[in-house]
Amino acid sequence: MRDFAALRRRFPVLARKTYLNSGSYCALADSVRDAINAYMEDRLQVGANWDVWVEKNEAVRSAMAAVLRASPDEVAVTASASAGLNALASAFQFHGPRNKVIVSDFEFPTNAQIWHAQELRGARVVHVPATPDGYIPLDNFARLIDDETQLVAVTHVCFRNGARLDIPGIVRLAHAHGARVLLDCYQAVGALTVDVRQLDVDFAVGGMLKYLLGTAGIGFLYVRGALLPTLIPSNSGWFAQENIFAMDITANRPAPSARRFEAGTPAVVNCYAAEAGLKIILEVGTDVIEQRVRELTRHCLDELAGVGWASVTPPQDERRGPMVCIPAREPARLCQSLMEQDIVASFRDNNLRATLHFYNSADDVLRLVTVLQQCRTRHHPHAK
């Protein structure tokens, strides 16, 4: 049994704030702070410490692979999710009949915009729409995935409403037609178990600043090992080469591993922070975290229902991630009102977002709902 009260004490901001914003930027752990300070001390005492910096980059790769239950050779450490997506997109060819890219209407802008950018190279991008109830059922994917589909690029959890797609079902549909699947798990990994082998996805992308407890400026790209020899990105750099230190300017010789999807010098200080955050995730365990998050989000939905303020997030466990989205009038103003009472949340569209992690508690949920009740007259969508 995990001592969540003790784990909570590792995040100093929680002593002062009701922090419900991990889906934007996680709370800072003491060990992540210490890792950043260790980098600063290293710079002061040693200066350029390249051997240690390269080791840190490799430590992030290994830890990220452990979180995804993949091999380190299948993981690229990137500057962002966008950097990983662009490198991957540059390795695709869109001439011929198999030129279709399927995305959903739940995507974060990056995962749609980058594939739409490939239209200049012959890609045909098709969107899977939501149904009137706000979800995207498997049938909607089945109607659009066909033998012309090269890639299905979908989010795990929608950043607007917290809905979790049926990834195993989508993968089965795509693979039946010979298409590959890219999973954007930015709003899931670290709060849910994302086992790339079990999900059977071909690619996965995300970053360290949300539920992985690290910082901005560093991300990852997973590529199924069997596909690596078939994908040579034209987006490249010296850290993508087979021999980083060869300094060979006569040719592009990509690494045989997923490192071929990397680019230039890694963000060193971000590696320190990311490694420390990933260590916490591995220490607690993703299965334990997922169970904790499921219980907290269920508690939040129940408390909201109890005061007559329904969420737009699906109530079913299999359709929900770590986010509870609450419809509101003037959500930006509501966020500001909550901030003034030391509750940190975010909003998208007309929904307040409460994004929960294992370090949150039932008391955090109760405080949010209590303050929402105080704001009901102005912000409840049906208040008169």
Please give the Cα distance from 32 to 265 (Å, whole number). 21
What is the reported pLDDT for 51? 83
What is the reported pLDDT for 321? 97
161 and 240 co-located in one domain = yes
Q: How crowded is residue 255: how many other Cβ atoms within 10 Å of its Cβ?
A: 18
Asked whether 358 and 292 are in contact (CB, 8 A), the reply is: yes
Within the chain, residue ranges assigned H as helices are 4-8, 30-45, 50-68, 81-89, 109-117, 138-142, 167-176, 196-199, 268-284, 286-306, 331-340, 362-374, 376-379
What is the reported pLDDT for 350? 94
Look up the pTM and report it. Answer: 0.97
240 and 97 co-located in one domain = yes
What is the reported pLDDT for 383? 83
Q: What is the dihedral of CA 193, 195, 198, 200, to 10 degrees?
A: 130
Domain presence at residue 22: yes
Domain presence at residue 384: no
CA distance readout (Å), 28 to 201, 212, 297, 357: 30, 11, 21, 12
What is the reported pLDDT for 245? 86
275 and 289 co-located in one domain = no
Query: Domain range for residue 101?
Result: 32-282
Domain presence at residue 133: yes
Q: What is the dihedral of CA 330, 335, 339, 340, to 10 degrees?
A: 10
Residue 84 buriedness (CB in 10 A; 0-12 / 13-18 / 19+)? buried
Please give the Cα distance from 36 to 323 (Å, whole number). 28
Q: Which of 249, 282, 315 is the last residue of a domain?
A: 282
What is the reported pLDDT for 49? 84
Please give the backbone phi and psi of residue 372, each rounded to the nearest 5 degrees, phi first: -60, -40
Secondary structure (3-state) at 157: strand
Q: What is the CATH number of the domain that holds 243?
A: 3.40.640.10
Please enumerate in sequence order all residues whose Cβ is within 8 A of that of 30, keeping only pairs 6 or more positions apart, or say none: 10, 11, 12
- pLDDT tens track of the chain, all 384 residues? 789 999 999 999 999 999 999 999 999 999 999 999 999 998 998 888 888 888 999 999 999 999 999 999 999 999 999 999 999 999 999 999 999 999 999 999 999 999 999 999 999 999 999 999 999 999 999 999 999 999 999 999 999 999 999 999 999 999 999 999 999 999 999 999 999 999 999 999 999 999 999 999 999 999 999 999 999 999 999 999 999 889 899 999 999 999 999 999 999 999 999 999 999 999 999 999 999 999 999 999 999 999 999 999 999 999 999 999 999 999 999 999 999 999 999 999 999 999 999 999 999 999 999 999 999 999 999 987
Q: What is the CATH number of the domain that holds 313?
A: 3.90.1150.10
Q: Which of 282, 299, 317 is the last residue of a domain?
A: 282
